[in-house]
Amino acid sequence: MTGQALRLVLVTPEIPANTGNVMRLCAATGVPLYLVEPLGFTLEHKELRRAAMDYRQGCHFTCHLTFEELERAHPEAGFWFFSARAEPSFFAQRVREGDFLVFGPEARGLGKRFLSVGRRQERAVRLPMPAGGRSLNLATAAGIAVYEALRQLGRLEGRGAGEGADHA
């Protein structure tokens, strides 16, 4: 669907099934996936393979040793850093072609130290939730963010795109 219109990053993911589900999301949407090491599992882990199913072959993904390495490789790109502790809503932002959507590890997310580097805090956003909601599953949050960004970029195409609910 998108080529390089949008890119997704998982920084030190810990749960193989979540990463497998994100691989499936990326294969289905054409969004490249970037994994930042260390990973909490091997890329051959059975739970990752089970969650990704045969979509893993369709997922274009690369691994980077550090997030800084990824930033240096893409100096022109915009980065959105997702954090349950951020104030601005992602839905109020304007995504640009080539932007990266960055998610942290499941247990702790992107920490204060990570977000304090450079201008990252200025690009920290959250997915809004009703009062009492603390966090979403990583794969769920990534799916919400990817589809909102694709919607903004006008990149939702294919079966069902732009159609209303039709329950004939």
- The domain segmentation of the chain, as residue ranges, is 6-152
Tell me which residue of 51, 63, 62 sits closest to 24, measured CA to CA.
Answer: 51
Q: Does domain 6-152 have CATH number 3.90.1200.10?
A: no
Where is 125: in which H helix or E strand? strand 124-125
pLDDT tens readout for residues 85-140: 899 999 999 999 999 999 999 999 999 999 999 999 999 999 998 877 778 999 99
pLDDT tens readout for residues 33-85: 999 999 999 998 999 989 989 888 889 999 999 999 999 999 999 999 999 98
Supply 43's token pair. 């890329």
pLDDT score of 25 more than 90: yes
